[in-house]
């Protein structure tokens, strides 16, 4: 796109632009609002993001029998030798204060009354945690957090919520051939008015969530298309550890059950994984059978699906009494029944699904990226906390801790910028482009990309599959870039452009790791190497 005058588009000015309205973006907005004018963008409905769907909870040391050291150790073990210990300690040490802030803001975590009659938080335990340390709100913790933060944000006069605005690209001084590299603003697609507008800001924070939608099957909502990672990369930021994609082993496989997770508690209570012919397969893979860790179970399912050419495997708990199933799994029972599956008599069709993006935009402990004034927080980032595998319930924690650290840094810097004039930014020029007459091209490329990412760059990889995927992604990139130059933008095209960029980063990261570690498994390099390092991709070197 070239940049010149557009007649109808609006320009907005703000102190801080936050792109994303999940746990990380909203927490940051609330912290900043007493000090500055903040605009928050969400490309879809305000509450639509992974935060809303988080079930389990948030990890923090609240029990006297637990300790920060123990939480740090558990995280390092889960991260399989690739965590940045400083980042882990920083996050875990700030957990209690961050959770207290959420509680003070109105989040209602579940409580219980102990033997002495004192009310305390009910802490659950999850995979990898050696203590009970998960604060939760029943099995809908994310919804409680998102709704509470949204309510608080809506009351603040310094916060402007912009629903239905997709950030397209960042505007930096380097892109305008000005000295130094500072972020100046962003071009955004106003879905409501169907036009591109400009937002100028002294500071911008990417809080856009993960990129799991790059895979055919995902537990994530549609907005998880890696936009922040692609925007940061195109602006010159380093991206790290993109080969580490966490897959949840059991997502319901049904045309009408988009993204419905089947909790690990089912296997905990004795559910069996079955092939289509009804035989069990986990005993062939691990002595812990169905209770093996997530990545091993996901790999076994993937292996059997590929070996048999099957669309799905099955999860069966029907050998348990009906009353037990209905009492322990009421939501799953009802949901499956509504789809015609009675889990007290029938197995559930399942596939593993992309669940969490461990890598992302490289930041320091304040959320600062490689570009002056540009910050990133939440799932869009690589902080070093997760290493090669994320421990359950550490991700919402990372969102809040880094939102607070980012707020502190911006609050210190804002007085030096508030009086400054905004840079002159050329308005978006779409005078040379037409309305798309071939929406089918976008749809086709969407499906193709997500399918080959699933087949070639999914749970089990080989060098050959990765090479094949890279060739296909490069062809798609060419086609999509051409399309982007010739036609007006819209949500599907913008997301596809970002997804194909993120796909390339995942493939290249996976190709450069010559070992199998944590979530990255390559049949050509099944062993671990000594002294592993994070995979860091630098746009300047491209």
Distance CA 511, CA 525 (A): 11
- Minimum distance, C-beta of residue 183 to ligand FAD, in the bound complex (Å): 15
The DSSP annotation for 27-88 comes to HHHHHHTTTS-EEEEESSSTT-SHHHH--S-EE---STT--HHHHHHHHHHHTTT---HHHH
Build a one-symbol-per-residue string for 334-353: x at contacts with ligand FAD by CB under 6 A, - elsewhere: --------------------
**Judged by CB under 6 A, does residue 123 bind ligand FAD?**
no
Distance of CA 532 to the CA centre of its chain: 24
CB of 77 to ligand FAD, least distance (A): 17
Q: Based on the residue annotation, tell me whether 465 is a catalytic residue of this protein.
A: no
Smallest separation, CB 357 to ligand FAD (Å): 8
227 lines the binding site for ligand FAD (CB under 6 A): yes
44 binds ligand FAD per the rule CB under 6 A: yes
d(CA 344, CA 327): 12
Judged by phi (left if over 0) then psi (alpha if -120 to 50, else beta), residue 373 lies in left
Give min distance, CB of 228 to ligand FAD, in A. Answer: 6
Site for ligand FAD in 20-39 (CB under 6 A): 20-25
98 part of the interface to ligand FAD, by CB under 6 A: no
For residue 363, the number of C-alpha atoms closer than 13 Å in the C-beta half-sphere is 33
The DSSP secondary-structure symbol of 287 reads T
Point out which span in 49-57, 88-96, 235-243, 294-302 binds ligand FAD (CB under 6 A). 49-57
Spatial strand order in the sheet of 348-357: 245-252, 348-357, 313-316, 272-274
Select the residue interacting with ligand FAD from 152, 204, 207, 297 (CB under 6 A).
Answer: 207
Catalytic: which of 89, 133, 238, 294? Answer: 294
* Cα–Cα dist 421/435, whole Å: 36
> Under the criterion CB under 6 A, does residue 539 sit at the interface with ligand FAD?
no
Among 28, 30, 76, 223, binds ligand FAD (CB under 6 A): 223
* Reduced DSSP (H G I as helix, E B as strand, rest coil) percent helix, strand, coil of the chain, to 5: 40, 20, 40
- The yes or no reply on residue 58 touching ligand FAD (CB under 6 A) is yes
Q: Name the residue with the smallest CB distance to ligand FAD.
A: 22
Using alpha carbons, select from 258, 241, 229 the residue that is nearest to residue 353. Answer: 258
CB of 207 to ligand FAD, least distance (A): 5
Return all residues near 309 (Cβ < 8 A) that are at least 6 apart.
none
197 binding ligand FAD? (CB under 6 A): no
Instruction: Decide if residue 166 touches ligand FAD (CB under 6 A).
Output: yes
Phi first, then psi, for residue 375 (nearest 5°) are -115, 165
Q: Which is nearer to ligand FAD, 266 or 511 (CB)?
A: 266
Asked if 316 and 345 touch (Cβ cutoff 8 Å), the reply is no
Distance (Å, whole) CA 131 – CA 317: 28
CB of 535 to ligand FAD, least distance (A): 20
Q: How far is the CB of 287 from ligand FAD (least distance, A)?
A: 28
* Residue list 248-307, contact with ligand FAD (CB under 6 A): 261
Q: Which is closer to ligand FAD, CB of 454 or CB of 456?
A: 454
Residue in 32, 54, 76, 500 binding ligand FAD, rule: CB under 6 A:
54
C-alpha to C-alpha distances, 450 to 36, 62, 408, 503, 523, nearest whole angstrom: 40, 41, 39, 9, 21
Q: Which token pair is 153?
A: 């944000």
Size of site (CB under 6 A) for ligand FAD: 43
Structure tokens at 199: 């937002």
Measured CA to CA, the distance from residue 502 to residue 449 in angstroms comes to 11
The verdict on 536 binding ligand FAD (CB under 6 A) reads: no
Residues within window 374-403 making contact with ligand FAD, judged by CB under 6 A? 378-380, 393, 395-396, 399
56 binds ligand FAD (CB under 6 A): yes
Does residue 532 bind ligand FAD (CB under 6 A)?
no
Q: Which of 15, 53, 148, 505 is close enough to bind ligand FAD by CB under 6 A?
A: 53
Q: How far is the CB of 377 from ligand FAD (least distance, A)?
A: 7
Q: How far is the CB of 125 from ligand FAD (least distance, A)?
A: 13
CA 174 to chain CA centroid, Å, is 28
Which CB, 53 or 521, lies closer to ligand FAD? 53
d(CA 297, CA 80): 17
Burial (Cβ within 10 Å: 0-12, 13-18, ≥19) of residue 354:
buried
What gap in Å lies between CA 300 and CA 291, rounded to an integer? 12
Residues near ligand FAD (CB under 6 A) are 19-25, 41-44, 48-51, 53-58, 141-142, 165-167, 207-209, 219-220, 223-224, 227, 261, 356, 378-380, 393, 395-396, 399
Catalytic residues: 294
């Amino acid at each position: 796109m070239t940049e010149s005058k557009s007649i109808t588009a609006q320009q907005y000015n703000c102190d801080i632009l936050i792109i994303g309205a999940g746990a990380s973006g909203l927490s940051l907005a609330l912290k900043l609002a007493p000090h500055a004018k903040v605009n928050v963008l969400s490309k879809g409905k305000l509450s639509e993001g992974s935060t809303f769907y988080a079930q389990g909870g948030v990890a923090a040391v609240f029990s006297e029998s637990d300790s920060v050291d123990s939480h740090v150790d558990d995280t390092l073990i889960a991260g399989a030798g690739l965590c940045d210990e400083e980042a882990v300690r920083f996050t875990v040490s700030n957990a209690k204060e961050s959770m207290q802030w959420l509680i003070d803001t109105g989040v209602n975590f579940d409580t219980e009354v102990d033997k002495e009659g004192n009310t305390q938080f009910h802490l659950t335990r999850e995979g990898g945690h050696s203590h009970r340390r998960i604060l939760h709100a029943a099995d809908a913790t994310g919804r409680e957090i998102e709704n509470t933060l949204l309510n608080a944000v809506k009351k603040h006069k310094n916060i402007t919520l912009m629903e239905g605005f997709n950030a397209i690209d960042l505007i930096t001084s380097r892109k305008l051939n000005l000295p130094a590299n500072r972020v100046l603003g962003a071009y955004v697609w106003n879905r409501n008015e169907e036009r591109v507008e400009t937002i100028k800001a002294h500071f911008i924070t990417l809080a856009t969530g993960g990129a799991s939608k790059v895979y055919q099957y995902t537990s994530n909502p549609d907005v998880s298309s890696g936009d922040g990672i692609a925007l940061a990369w195109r602006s010159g930021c380093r991206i790290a550890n993109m080969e580490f994609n966490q897959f949840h082993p059991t997502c319901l496989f049904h045309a009408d059950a988009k993204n419905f997770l089947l909790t690990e508690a089912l296997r905990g209570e004795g559910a069996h994984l079955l092939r289509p012919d009804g035989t069990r397969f986990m005993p062939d893979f691990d002595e812990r059978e169905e209770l093996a860790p997530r990545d091993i179970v996901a790999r076994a399912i993937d292996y059997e699906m590929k070996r048999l050419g099957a669309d799905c495997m099955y999860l069966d708990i029907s050998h348990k009494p009906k009353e037990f199933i209905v009492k322990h799994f009421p939501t799953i029972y009802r949901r499956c029944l509504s789809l015609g599956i009675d889990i007290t008599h029938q197995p559930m069709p399942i596939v593993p699904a992309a669940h969490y993006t461990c890598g992302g935009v490289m930041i320091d402990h304040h959320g600062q990226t490689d570009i002056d004034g540009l910050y990133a927080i939440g799932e869009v980032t690589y902080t070093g906390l997760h290493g090669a595998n994320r421990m359950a319930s550490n991700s919402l924690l990372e969102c809040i801790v880094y939102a607070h650290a980012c707020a502190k840094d911006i609050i210190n810097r804002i007085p030096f910028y508030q009086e400054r004039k905004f840079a002159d930014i050329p308005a978006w020029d779409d005078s040379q482009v037409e309305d798309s007459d071939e929406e089918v091209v976008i749809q086709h490329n969407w499906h193709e990309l997500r399918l080959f990412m699933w087949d070639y760059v999914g749970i089990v990889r080989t060098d050959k599959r990765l090479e094949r995927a890279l060739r296909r992604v490069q062809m798609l990139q060419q086609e999509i870039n051409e399309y982007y130059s010739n036609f007006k933008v819209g949500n599907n095209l913008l997301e596809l452009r970002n997804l194909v960029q993120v796909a390339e980063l995942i493939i290249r990261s996976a190709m450069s790791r010559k070992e199998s570690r944590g979530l990255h498994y390559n049949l050509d390099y099944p062993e671990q190497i000594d002294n592993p390092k994070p995979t860091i991709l630098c746009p300047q070197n491209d």
